Structure 1
């Protein structure tokens, strides 16, 4: 099973390589402005911490996570909680972003167009709701999953 999983991950990484290259380019630019990078095996991603632009939080491109803070294991609120759709327990940002990495591995170059067509960065976006669900429960990262 491990070998099959590794082959699937390698194929997913190849499939999403165009997205990863965008993340690497943005991360490299951030390095010149004080960001630093390290590999996080659990997230299957190269994480650029202290990425100097954006409103805060993180954004994922393939196997790259651009993070404005120092600790990806920081708690954060879900999109539904932030939008006032109810009280939800905090989640861990790393778990949320890992779900996006999985989504990229599955959808490759289709991820960004589908993500944008689903509403972009908002509570209405099925990709964000799935990432929050995965961060809360450890399952359901697929955007068209009901669990």
Structure 2
């Protein structure tokens, strides 16, 4: 990793630190109930696997990914596919969540309010569609 990209990651991580702290609190709440945590450089995030609550899947808060399963290297359907808008091939859940980490690092404390203003967890949300595009192409 070049010095420039490392500097960008550090600035982004500092900018989204309030969101990351929320993620750490939520993730740590699951530790006594069987969750386990690992640093995953490729995301770049702390990943809490086996989080015991929720409908399944993953949630990203800053540089923290909270996941109900044991591995992010699983296929998932895009939001547009699930909504019946198109037929997309499955994407890798980890790639989708990595896109959210990058979105948080770019927008910092502005991300959550903007995400909610754009529709929250739904196909209408431009952040979810962008994360799906990134998971499909590795770009964006």
Q: TM-score, normalised by structure 1?
A: 0.94
Which structure ranks higher in relative contact order (CA pairs < 8 Å, sequence separation ≥ 6)? 2
- SS of the equivalent of 1:119 reads coil
C-alpha separation in 1, matches of 2:7 and 2:38: 23
Please name the residue that 1:88 is paired with.
88
Unaligned runs of 5+ in 2: none
Matches of residues 122-137 of structure 1 in structure 2 within 5 Å?
122-137=122-137
Number of residue pairs matched? 140
Report the CA distance between 1:138 and its aligned residue.
0.5
Report the CA distance between 1:2 and its aligned residue.
1.1
Moved over 4 A (4+): none
Report the CA distance between 1:74 and its aligned residue.
0.4
Please name the residue that 2:100 is paired with.
100
Report the CA distance between 1:59 and its aligned residue.
0.4
Please name the residue that 2:59 is paired with.
59
C-alpha separation in 2, matches of 1:85 and 1:52: 31
Please name the residue that 2:40 is paired with.
40
C-alpha separation in 2, matches of 1:12 and 1:71: 25
Q: TM-score, normalised by structure 2?
A: 0.98
C-alpha separation in 2, matches of 1:105 and 1:72: 20
Please name the residue that 2:69 is paired with.
69
Report the CA distance between 1:86 and its aligned residue.
1.3
